[in-house]
Amino acid sequence: MRKIPILLTLCGWLMAGGAVSTAAGEKMTAPVGGAKSGVFNVLSYGAVADDKTDNTEAFSTCLQAMIGAGGGRMMLPNGVYRGRIIIPGTKNWITIEIAGESEPTPAFGTIGSFPLQSNGTILKCLSESGQSVVSAANTPESLYGGFSGINVVIRNLEVRTYDNPRIGGIDLKHAAQCKLENVFVNTGLYNVQASQPTYGTCGVITPACNNAALTVLRNVVVTGYHTGIQVNEHTDGDNIVVASNVNGLEFLQAHHASRFARVGTYRNTHHITVSGRHGFSIEQMNTEQPGKGQTHAGNAWQTLVSDINDPRNLGIADINYWVVVGNLGAVDQFTKNGGASIRARRIGSVPTAAKNALP
């Protein structure tokens, strides 16, 4: 009789989405999903990870259930999912988390040719027009000023489009808040092989100016876009990589400042572009530009034009940098186009305002 309560407890735990270990150490996991657990498995809403099925409708059905429950986690087990995730607007302040099963492999570099793999959780869209692969919708259902009340959290996800993409990766300009962690946004190619982007699309767009003051980026890699990450106010980033984009980071008009810890900028035409008045700091900007023999006709656009592209002198910033040239090593050079109010210093040296400015 003593075994009955234990068995009932175990059954109840499994119904709630628990896992038990077998004698061999393997785990047996019960399906999870629904408002009670707060975890909504996309497979329960008809999604199929076969790299063929358009899962947009299944994702939307799952999101509606999550919003009706006051938020939760959309769980995507490993596999390749075609389609878009379009997060509806809401007047309520809630959190919607989109989470893959495992951390993506951020494949990027400065030389060589390597095929991207299909491991982990990949969200893929090959449409030639329309919304980004993941977006927060601009609807009348808003918290204030065109912002949905949703705090969007995206973890452990690879977002993939195609070479010279006509659509963006993640567009959260209408979300009140966001946190991206362990996210890899790419165009289906190892970045060194990427063609020059000509459609003005962005890998990541953060919540727009006047957002709800919480934008966090951790372990985010973006390759192959016209702009890697569009940075709006209140952005806090660390372990960021932007590689083989026309503009690595683009700082837009902001009332409040942004802060970055370590940023890797590799093979971008302009590592940092400033297009609006923005105060920001970068504690360590680690860069590498192609050296002699490291470009060809197909990727010559990845040759550096400027580390800082701020022709209208809109940026107000402090940057500590370390520059490497391929086949040469560390060098003391840093090129600014404008940027009169951007203080840039090589790690270990005295800050200067106008050193190495373009004519």
Q: Which helix (H) or strand (E) holds 105?
A: none
**Residue carrying the six token digits 């979300």:** 175
pLDDT at 164 over 70: yes
Give per-residue pLDDT as tens, 27-74: 334 345 566 679 999 999 999 999 999 999 999 999 999 999 999 999
The span from the CA of 264 to the CA of 277, in Å, is: 23
Give per-residue pLDDT as tens, 95-125: 999 999 999 999 999 999 999 999 999 999 9
Give per-residue pLDDT as tens, 300-358: 999 999 999 999 999 999 999 999 999 999 999 999 999 999 999 999 997 665 555 55
What percent of the chain shows pLDDT beyond 70? 87
- The pLDDT value recorded for residue 352 is 60
Q: How far is CA 129 from CA 51, 174, 197, 207, 298, in A?
A: 19, 19, 15, 22, 24
DSSP at 147: B
- The pLDDT value recorded for residue 21 is 36
What residue spans define the domains of the chain? Answer: 38-346
Q: Which helix (H) or strand (E) holds 9?
A: helix 3-15
Q: What residues have CB less than 8 Å from 203, skipping those under 6 apart?
A: 168, 169, 170, 185, 186, 222, 223, 224, 225, 227, 228, 229, 242, 245
**Answer CATH for 38-346 from 3.30.70.3280, 2.40.50.140, 2.160.20.10, 1.10.10.10:** 2.160.20.10
The span from the CA of 316 to the CA of 4, in Å, is: 68
Give per-residue pLDDT as tens, 178-193: 999 999 999 999 999 9
Measured in whole angstroms, the distance separating CA 243 from the mean position of its chain's CA atoms is 13
70 phi, psi to nearest 5 deg:
85, 20
